Structure 1
């Protein structure tokens, strides 16, 4: 029979009861009145011995709360709470991140659907674990963990606001990152030339800019002519991912390419189509797919299937070793091969963390120019 006791140093009574296997359990009742605590302890034991599901146990506690206080536990749907959470986050979050939050939260709400009555109070750990497994079927471990992080944020907020007593996502671990097929490789120069030969004028320009300034596809896509100073041979930009302001030297081959654009046309974005795509979606997935098709046409990766098979859109995204990001790795490899020191290389491509940035702040503009001068000319060779 269930009983209660008070631990030294605590004001709440704890329940002492046995589960269906006869194992003794202790749980705080969160009340200071002995009679109320004894009733709660009895309910704990009843729920434990009847092998009830997580949702059923929660319902028992909800009903008992109403019995004790006369107040009914207000049902809050998962979707309603997510909508409120998104509205609250909007004021403190940049648009591109909000797009991800909306996508990730909506996907989770769709997955839960009518499970657990669609009530956030009834969503259990098993549902979150099941969702994590569902994500892994269609995306990489890194993306899965990114989505899971968003779900954890939602439930932390729900617990903080008193909507749920326990956070079902708190003890759900992230998945171990897969080692296979995730390494991004640099291009061979001959392979870049093959792609350039097949690319239209805009993609040719994006490839050259990506290679010679070593920046990500998003930053290349949104680059404006106002950021380009051909006289002082510098490109100034603020990176999308880290928000870091950078002033990068323009290598001679890139300058030769850029000067081919007449002065009267040097306004607005360098790459109008790519800039429009990125501005509309806030993502580079469409541009990444376009570049993947170029690589496939050059024989550098498999063609992307559009059928609903294991290699199609519904399957896990293929982490190909070659992508636009490989141009960034190529820039690093070329600079290192030319004998450029690590500090200058890191300053050229941008730092992934504030710690790394602080460590390399001593790199000067002249060192960057000398490093850029060592990059090979893949256009005129």
Structure 2
């Protein structure tokens, strides 16, 4: 109907489009599920209450835009300091991601203690890795991050879904900050820095076939420039 009214106005049959400001169901659902990105002061607030490992997880979340489970599973084999890259295979889609290191992330990685033995198997975040390997999913880590947000005053402290009986079918509050908001924040910061949309999608990763096709021409040099556009915390 909106298309018909738009065409009628364009062709001069009507003066005003009565459907111009009527939202479609898809638009309403998209707005409802639009997650909040972090502001820089909110990043700093949660970093101030995080322990060493969680601080590292948060920095990886912002500067790579990857999901919490994939970050928890990172080992030293995924890190190439010589090339300044992080290489991983995403758990959700099996996609190979080659991510240039933003300079703040590189500096952080260089402060991490080197593993004593078998560096290819040593996780960057041992506690987080042990949790996802034990449970097979990242729900416990997400709950821990929610507790950090509450401690930083960025979210109300509530019982987690696992203890309320809601399970995976429970409703998500997409307006709340979460670890996934780091992914949205990465996109926001890059776009605010003027990074082209196709480069942002290639760097962060996107499951859409249309977006993937759009990004096929994005080269390594463009990705490296995009990583350099991240802000310092």
TM-score by length of 1: 0.49
Deviation at 1:265, TM superposition (A): 4.8
Distance, in Å, in 1 between the alignment partners of 2:98 and 2:159 is: 40
**Any stretches of 5+ residues in structure 2 without a counterpart?**
1-27
Counterpart check, 1:213 vs 2:59: no
Q: How does 1:301-312 map to 2 (within 5 A)?
A: 301-305=155-159
Q: Which has the higher contact order (CA 8 A, sep 6+)?
A: 2
- What corresponds to 1:362 in structure 2? 217
Correspondences of 1:147-162 after superposition (within 5 Å): none
Q: Secondary structure at the match of 1:361?
A: helix
Of residues 184, 193, 197, the one that matches 2:35 is 184
Q: CA deviation at 1:282?
A: 1.4
Q: Give the 3-state SS of the residue equivalent to 1:287 in structure 2.
A: helix
Unaligned stretches of 5+ in structure 1? 1-176
Which position in structure 2 is the counterpart of 1:299? Answer: 153
Superposed CA offset, 1:77-123 (max 9, x none): xxxxxxxxxxxxxxxxxxxxxxxxxxxxxxxxxxxxxxxxxxxxxxx
Task: Give the corresponding residue for 2:192.
Answer: 337
> C-alpha distance in 2, partners of 1:230/1:275?
21
Residues in 1 aligned to 2:95 and 2:159: alpha-carbon distance in whole angstroms: 37
Distance of aligned partners of 1:242 and 1:322 in 2 relative to their CA distance in 1, 3 Å threshold: same
Shift of 1:355: 3.4
Inter-CA distance 293–359: structure 2 relative to 1 (3 Å threshold): same
The structural deviation recorded for 1:279 is: 0.8
Query: For the Cα contact (< 8 Å) 2:65–2:204, is it kept in 1?
Result: yes
Shift of residue 182 of structure 1? 3.3
User: Cα distance, 1:233 vs. partner?
Assistant: 0.4
- Work out the CA distance in 2 between the residues paired with 1:184 and 1:292: 14
1:248 to 2:102 alignment: no
* Residues 307 and 234 (structure 1), Cα distance of their counterparts in 2 relative to 1, 3 Å cut: closer
In the alignment, the residues of structure 2 paired with residue 358 and residue 262 of structure 1 have an alpha-carbon distance, to the nearest angstrom, of: 39
Return the alpha-carbon distance in structure 1 between the equivalents of residues 161 and 185 of structure 2: 32
Q: Is the Cα–Cα contact under 8 Å of residues 191 and 197 in structure 2 kept in the other structure?
A: yes
Cα separation, 2, equivalents of 1:205 and 1:374? 20
Distance 1:313 1:274 in 2: 23
Deviation at 1:179, TM superposition (A): 6.6
Q: Of 273, 276, 279, which aligns to 2:133?
A: 279
TM-score by length of 2: 0.79
Alignment correspondent of 2:4: none
**Any idea what the Cα deviations from partners look like across 1:50-75, whole Å, max 9, x if unmatched?**
xxxxxxxxxxxxxxxxxxxxxxxxxx
The aligned runs of 1:100-111 (5 Å cut-off) are: none
What value does the CA root-mean-square deviation take over the aligned residues? 2.2
Q: Counterpart of 2:155 in 1: which secondary structure?
A: coil
Aligned residues between the structures: 199
For 2:181 and 2:188, the matched residues in 1 are separated by 10
Deviations 1:9-59 (A, max 9, x none): xxxxxxxxxxxxxxxxxxxxxxxxxxxxxxxxxxxxxxxxxxxxxxxxxxx
Which structure: larger Rg? Answer: 1
Q: Are the counterparts in 1 of residues 89 and 96 from structure 2 also a CA contact under 8 Å?
A: yes
